[in-house]
Amino acid sequence: MNQNQQPAATNNPEFIHQNMQTGQVPAQLNHGGHEMFDVHEMLSGIVSTLNLYTMCRGHVQDPELKTMLNSHYQHISKEYNACVQAFQTGTNPAHKTETYMMKQDNDFVYGLKPAQPKKPIQSVTELNDETVSMLILGTLKSNASLRAMATLEVTNPVMRRVLADGIPNWIEMAYELSIWQNKNHYYQVPQLNQQDMTSMLNAYAPSQQTQPPLQ
């Protein structure tokens, strides 16, 4: 490009200002202010999650847990790349969001059994399957919430759909890991007594539409 040529449209401040005033914003700039900050925070959370998987992988002993975490890592990596591409281009990523299919069944064991009180570890040598799974479960839950909040601030239609499509996958991965923990007595689930549970289950009734809808 010689000196007489105009710079690329997306790098020309005057071009950007004029198009923003008319609403004709290039796809890669079709992002609101809140969206930029929230998506940055969300992507940083994914990077931290992948780093946590990498750091913890060598401390896992259970083969089933190791396989699960490897599947999580591969899926999260693909979602991350899709999010980055959609964010930077404003257009559909090369690979669509895939549905994560967990390998665990969905049978929870309810009730509390005597267990040793939990306390912080003092050294990385104390990392084991229980502590690793708890660390990762916490970050999966946090990322699911962060992704949902970021999606609600997104104005770019492609980015919004990419983020929204991925939310169920984070929920599924967290659910799968909690089932594994429950099966190994790391995650106990208390229940209310039958009378209290019945009272709460019957505390609501279906809505009856007795008035015409608002015009």
Q: What is the pLDDT of residue 9?
A: 47
Does 158 fall in a domain?
yes
Does 113 fall in a domain?
no
Task: Give Cα separations from 122 to 43, 61, 75, 137 (angstroms).
Answer: 30, 20, 32, 20
User: 97-130 pLDDT, tens per residue?
Assistant: 899 999 888 888 999 888 888 889 999 899 999 9
Higher pLDDT pick, 66 / 155 = 66
| Tokens 């708890």 sit on residue | 134
Q: Which ranges of 58-190 does DSSP label H, i.e. alpha helix?
A: 63-89, 129-151, 157-183
Does 8 fall in a domain?
no
**Least confident among 8-22, 135-149, 195-209:** 8-22
Domain residue limits at 135: 23-105+127-201
Give 152's DSSP letter: T
Pairwise CA distance, residues 81 & 150, whole Å? 17
Residue 155 predicted with pLDDT over 70? yes
Model confidence at 208, pLDDT cuts 50, 70, 90, reads confident
Domains of the chain: total = 1
Residue 173 predicted with pLDDT over 60? yes
User: 52-61 pLDDT, tens per residue?
Assistant: 999 999 999 9
User: 68-93 pLDDT, tens per residue?
Assistant: 999 999 999 999 999 999 988 888 89
CATH number at residue 164: 1.20.1260.10
Pairwise CA distance, residues 213 & 52, whole Å? 50
Does 210 fall in a domain?
no
Does 51 fall in a domain?
yes
Give 11's DSSP letter: G
